[in-house]
Amino acid sequence: MSANKTIDNLMEAFAGESQANRKYLAYAKKAEKEGKQNVAKLFKAASDAETLHALKEFEIAGKVSTTTDNLKDAVEGETHEYQDMYPDFVKVAEEEGNKAAVMIFTYAMKAEQVHAKLYQEALENFDQSEEIFYYLCPICGNIETSVPERCFICGTPGEKFIKY
Protein backbone atom coordinates (compact mmCIF):
# COMPACT_ATOMS: atom_id res chain seq x y z
CA MET A 1 0.00 0.00 0.00
CA SER A 2 1.38 3.43 -0.93
CA ALA A 3 1.58 6.64 1.06
CA ASN A 4 -0.77 8.21 -1.50
CA LYS A 5 -3.58 5.92 -0.34
CA THR A 6 -2.96 7.13 3.22
CA ILE A 7 -3.20 10.75 2.05
CA ASP A 8 -6.44 9.90 0.23
CA ASN A 9 -7.74 8.25 3.41
CA LEU A 10 -6.74 11.26 5.51
CA MET A 11 -8.63 13.58 3.16
CA GLU A 12 -11.69 11.31 3.11
CA ALA A 13 -11.60 11.20 6.91
CA PHE A 14 -11.20 15.00 7.01
CA ALA A 15 -14.28 15.44 4.81
CA GLY A 16 -16.35 13.03 6.88
CA GLU A 17 -15.29 14.50 10.22
CA SER A 18 -15.92 18.04 8.93
CA GLN A 19 -19.42 17.10 7.83
CA ALA A 20 -20.13 15.32 11.12
CA ASN A 21 -19.04 18.47 12.97
CA ARG A 22 -21.65 20.61 11.21
CA LYS A 23 -24.31 17.93 11.30
CA TYR A 24 -23.93 17.56 15.08
CA LEU A 25 -24.10 21.33 15.54
CA ALA A 26 -27.38 21.34 13.61
CA TYR A 27 -28.63 18.50 15.81
CA ALA A 28 -27.57 20.44 18.92
CA LYS A 29 -29.55 23.50 17.83
CA LYS A 30 -32.62 21.34 17.26
CA ALA A 31 -32.23 19.67 20.66
CA GLU A 32 -31.93 23.11 22.31
CA LYS A 33 -35.13 24.28 20.61
CA GLU A 34 -36.86 21.17 21.94
CA GLY A 35 -35.55 21.90 25.46
CA LYS A 36 -33.26 18.86 25.49
CA GLN A 37 -30.18 20.55 26.99
CA ASN A 38 -28.32 17.35 27.89
CA VAL A 39 -28.66 16.01 24.36
CA ALA A 40 -27.63 19.40 22.96
CA LYS A 41 -24.48 19.36 25.11
CA LEU A 42 -23.65 15.84 23.92
CA PHE A 43 -24.00 16.90 20.28
CA LYS A 44 -21.83 19.99 20.90
CA ALA A 45 -19.12 17.91 22.59
CA ALA A 46 -19.19 15.37 19.76
CA SER A 47 -19.03 18.22 17.24
CA ASP A 48 -15.89 19.55 18.92
CA ALA A 49 -14.40 16.03 18.96
CA GLU A 50 -15.04 15.68 15.21
CA THR A 51 -13.32 19.06 14.70
CA LEU A 52 -10.26 17.82 16.60
CA HIS A 53 -10.11 14.74 14.36
CA ALA A 54 -10.56 16.76 11.17
CA LEU A 55 -7.91 19.33 12.04
CA LYS A 56 -5.30 16.69 12.85
CA GLU A 57 -6.11 14.69 9.70
CA PHE A 58 -5.83 17.80 7.52
CA GLU A 59 -2.51 18.69 9.13
CA ILE A 60 -1.05 15.17 8.80
CA ALA A 61 -2.12 15.14 5.14
CA GLY A 62 0.17 18.14 4.64
CA LYS A 63 -2.62 20.52 3.70
CA VAL A 64 -1.67 23.31 6.12
CA SER A 65 1.01 25.48 4.57
CA THR A 66 2.40 28.95 5.24
CA THR A 67 -0.12 31.64 6.11
CA THR A 68 0.56 33.32 2.77
CA ASP A 69 -0.12 30.09 0.87
CA ASN A 70 -3.17 29.41 3.04
CA LEU A 71 -4.54 32.87 2.19
CA LYS A 72 -3.95 32.26 -1.53
CA ASP A 73 -5.74 28.91 -1.24
CA ALA A 74 -8.64 30.58 0.59
CA VAL A 75 -8.97 33.27 -2.12
CA GLU A 76 -9.01 30.56 -4.78
CA GLY A 77 -11.57 28.43 -2.95
CA GLU A 78 -13.94 31.28 -2.15
CA THR A 79 -13.65 32.62 -5.70
CA HIS A 80 -14.55 29.21 -7.13
CA GLU A 81 -17.58 29.08 -4.85
CA TYR A 82 -19.02 32.47 -5.78
CA GLN A 83 -18.08 32.39 -9.48
CA ASP A 84 -18.74 28.76 -10.39
CA MET A 85 -20.33 26.59 -7.73
CA TYR A 86 -23.12 28.70 -6.26
CA PRO A 87 -24.35 30.23 -9.53
CA ASP A 88 -24.95 26.69 -10.82
CA PHE A 89 -26.62 25.68 -7.57
CA VAL A 90 -28.90 28.75 -7.70
CA LYS A 91 -29.88 27.96 -11.29
CA VAL A 92 -30.85 24.37 -10.48
CA ALA A 93 -32.77 25.39 -7.36
CA GLU A 94 -34.67 28.00 -9.41
CA GLU A 95 -35.48 25.41 -12.06
CA GLU A 96 -36.76 23.07 -9.37
CA GLY A 97 -38.73 25.82 -7.64
CA ASN A 98 -36.93 25.41 -4.30
CA LYS A 99 -37.11 28.99 -3.00
CA ALA A 100 -35.42 28.22 0.33
CA ALA A 101 -32.42 26.70 -1.48
CA VAL A 102 -32.29 29.65 -3.89
CA MET A 103 -32.16 32.02 -0.93
CA ILE A 104 -29.45 30.18 1.03
CA PHE A 105 -27.33 29.60 -2.08
CA THR A 106 -27.65 33.28 -3.02
CA TYR A 107 -26.71 34.39 0.49
CA ALA A 108 -23.71 32.06 0.48
CA MET A 109 -22.64 33.15 -3.01
CA LYS A 110 -22.65 36.82 -2.03
CA ALA A 111 -20.91 36.11 1.29
CA GLU A 112 -18.20 34.01 -0.40
CA GLN A 113 -17.41 36.97 -2.67
CA VAL A 114 -16.88 39.11 0.44
CA HIS A 115 -14.73 36.38 2.02
CA ALA A 116 -12.51 36.19 -1.08
CA LYS A 117 -12.08 39.97 -0.99
CA LEU A 118 -11.19 39.95 2.70
CA TYR A 119 -8.65 37.15 2.22
CA GLN A 120 -7.11 39.06 -0.69
CA GLU A 121 -6.91 42.21 1.45
CA ALA A 122 -5.25 40.21 4.24
CA LEU A 123 -2.71 38.94 1.71
CA GLU A 124 -2.03 42.43 0.40
CA ASN A 125 -1.68 43.84 3.94
CA PHE A 126 0.10 40.80 5.32
CA ASP A 127 2.52 42.67 7.56
CA GLN A 128 -0.06 45.08 8.99
CA SER A 129 0.26 45.17 12.76
CA GLU A 130 -2.85 47.22 13.57
CA GLU A 131 -5.54 44.98 15.03
CA ILE A 132 -8.58 44.40 12.85
CA PHE A 133 -11.94 43.18 14.08
CA TYR A 134 -14.35 41.22 11.93
CA TYR A 135 -18.12 41.08 12.31
CA LEU A 136 -20.09 38.05 11.15
CA CYS A 137 -23.73 38.14 10.12
CA PRO A 138 -25.32 35.15 11.91
CA ILE A 139 -27.91 34.71 9.18
CA CYS A 140 -26.07 34.75 5.84
CA GLY A 141 -22.39 34.53 6.75
CA ASN A 142 -21.39 37.98 5.49
CA ILE A 143 -18.28 39.35 7.18
CA GLU A 144 -17.62 43.06 7.68
CA THR A 145 -14.71 45.01 9.18
CA SER A 146 -17.11 47.33 10.99
CA VAL A 147 -20.63 46.87 12.28
CA PRO A 148 -23.06 47.85 9.52
CA GLU A 149 -26.47 49.35 10.13
CA ARG A 150 -27.88 46.32 8.32
CA CYS A 151 -26.35 43.41 6.45
CA PHE A 152 -26.20 44.33 2.78
CA ILE A 153 -26.93 40.71 1.82
CA CYS A 154 -29.83 39.68 4.04
CA GLY A 155 -30.86 42.82 5.95
CA THR A 156 -30.01 41.52 9.45
CA PRO A 157 -29.55 44.42 11.91
CA GLY A 158 -25.91 45.22 12.65
CA GLU A 159 -26.32 44.74 16.41
CA LYS A 160 -26.84 41.00 15.75
CA PHE A 161 -23.40 40.63 14.13
CA ILE A 162 -20.82 38.56 16.04
CA LYS A 163 -17.46 40.21 16.74
CA TYR A 164 -14.15 38.44 16.11
How many Å apart are CA 121 and CA 94, to the nearest integer? Answer: 33
Q: What is the pTM of this model?
A: 0.89
User: What are residue 158's phi and psi, to 5 degrees?
Assistant: -60, -30
38 contact partners, CB below 8 Å, separation of at least 6: none
Q: Classify domain 3-60 by CATH number.
A: 1.20.1260.10
Show me where the domains of the chain are located. 3-60, 65-128, 131-164
Q: Which CATH architecture has domain 131-164?
A: Single Sheet (2.20)
pLDDT digit string (tens) for 76-116? Answer: 999 999 999 999 999 999 999 999 999 999 999 999 999 99
Segment 107-155, tens digit of pLDDT? 999 999 999 999 999 999 999 999 999 999 999 999 999 999 999 999 9
The pLDDT of residue 9 is: 97
Same fold, 3-60 and 131-164: no
Q: Supply the CATH classification number for the domain 65-128.
A: 1.20.1260.10
In whole angstroms, what separates CA 37 from the centre of its chain? 25
pLDDT digits (tens, 9 = 90+) for 33-64: 999 999 999 999 999 999 999 999 999 999 99
| Residues ≥6 apart with Cβ < 8 Å to 47 | 20, 21, 22, 24, 25, 28
What's residue 2's pLDDT? Answer: 60
| pLDDT of residue 29 exceeding 90 | yes
Rounded distance between C-alpha atoms, residue 58 and residue 16, angstroms: 12
Give the integer Cα–Cα distance in Å for 35 and 41.
11
Residues 102-136 as b/e (b if ≥16 CB within 10 A, e otherwise) read bebbbbbbbbbbbbbebbbebeeeeeeeeeeeebb
Query: What single-letter amino acid sits at 29?
Result: K
Residue 55 is predicted with a pLDDT of: 97
**Mean pLDDT across the stretch 20-36?**
98
pLDDT at 1 over 80: no
Q: pLDDT grade, residue 18 (50/70/90)?
A: very high
